Amino acid sequence: MKRRAVVFLAPGRVETALDPVPEPADDEVLVQVEASAISAGTELLVYRGQAPPDLPVDACLPGFSGLFRFPLRYGYAAAGSVAAAGRRVDPAWIGRRVFGFRPHASHFLSRPAELVPIPESVGLRDAVFLANMETAATLMLDGLPAVGEHVVVFGQGVVGLLASGLLSAFPLASLSAVEPLPLRQEASLRAGVHAVFDPARPQELIAWLREATEGAMADLVFELSGHPPALDAAIAAAGFGARIVLGSWYGGRPAAANLGGSFHRSRIRLIGSQVSTLPPAFMARWSRQRRFAVAWEQIRRTGPARLITHEFAVEAAGEAYALLDRNCAQALQVLLTYGH
């Protein structure tokens, strides 16, 4: 048996490599992956060669080393079950369903402490959303939406849709979104957003906000589109003293935001959000395990598997990335499957 693993070779070039299936060390387990989710944000930056080449891949997660330089193995949403265990590992781990923050591959090695057990009440197709739901939960901790607030979300990709689903459970005065793609607009309304606007017609959002807020504009804005020009549009939607949570990662692309106009005089706060760490204000009482528990509960509540639009065998990974790169209007969540 061979391990099948996705390798980014160069911008726009992906192959599936065949390696020997590794043997677990005494303190490791071997995980057999059933499905892994592609991140249409971060992974497309890697696929397009837009990730900063001198940036470490991820110093906070096990299994990642080196920089964003080709050739590269990447991905961080793998779900499967433990197939074998080293002699110092409790054999009860064998057969357990687990989630791993690991690159796309049919098998990977891990210490048990680095895995997240999948609750029995969560199906595997929902479980692959753990990383993105953890990101959405972190956005809420950073943004702190409050009762009666007017909130706007720029970008309705998977993370934007999950964030909108969480926000729809808050007693907000209004929840609006900005998204150009019809498939995502429809999913946004199903997630509980009150109104969705096309970024090509920014005056429509501004007019709607002015009417809804009697001219005060948005209290809280999330920029999750991944497109640097959206930051200016987020600033335009924000009112005096508003918060803008920047959850997008632009990679090596500069964001030439206009900070000389309303941003400066309106005392708008720009908050960077990133899931690799907990927000500083929550570190005293929150842990990664507590955030996982919240993410699993929200996965049970929202059933994100409905966002899966495409599944590709890992051998066809190149087709999956080409779809997201060239025809993203057709796709929401894309999975790679391993067919053991």
Outline where DSSP puts E strands in 75-118.
Answer: 78-85, 97-100, 107-110, 116-117
Rounded to 5 degrees, φ, ψ at 140 are -65, -40
| Cα distances (Å, whole numbers) of residue 91 to 27, 83, 84, 202 | 11, 10, 8, 58
Q: 56 pairs with which residues across the strands?
A: 67
Calpha distance 78→100 (Å, rounded): 5
Q: E strand or H helix at 264, and its extent?
A: helix 262-265
Query: For residues 324 and 330, what is the distance between their CA atoms, to the nearest angstrom?
Result: 8
pLDDT at 59: 63
Amino acid identity of residue 5, one-letter, is A
E strand or H helix at 127: helix 124-127
pTM of the model: 0.96
- Please give the C-alpha separations between residue 66 and each of 10, 49, 50, 74, in angstroms, as whole numbers: 16, 16, 16, 11
Q: How far is CA 131 from the centre of its chain?
A: 6
pLDDT along the chain (340 residues), means of 10: 96 97 98 97 93 82 82 96 98 98 98 98 98 98 98 98 98 98 98 98 98 98 95 96 95 83 90 95 97 98 98 98 95 94
Amino acid at 15: E
pLDDT of 66 reads 84
Cα 142 to Cα 86: distance, rounded to the nearest angstrom: 40
Q: For residue 288, what is the enclosing H or E element?
A: helix 288-302
Distance of CA 148 to the CA centre of its chain: 27
Q: Containing H/E element for 10?
A: strand 2-10
At 255, phi and psi to the nearest 5?
Answer: -110, 100
> Domains in the chain, start-ordered, CATH in brackets?
2-118+303-337 (3.90.180.10), 140-281 (3.40.50.720)
User: Strand runs (DSSP E) across 161-268, as ranges?
Assistant: 174-178, 195-197, 218-223, 238-246
pLDDT at 57: 84
Sign of CA pseudo-dihedral 158, 163, 167, 173: negative
Distance CA 234, CA 334 (A): 28
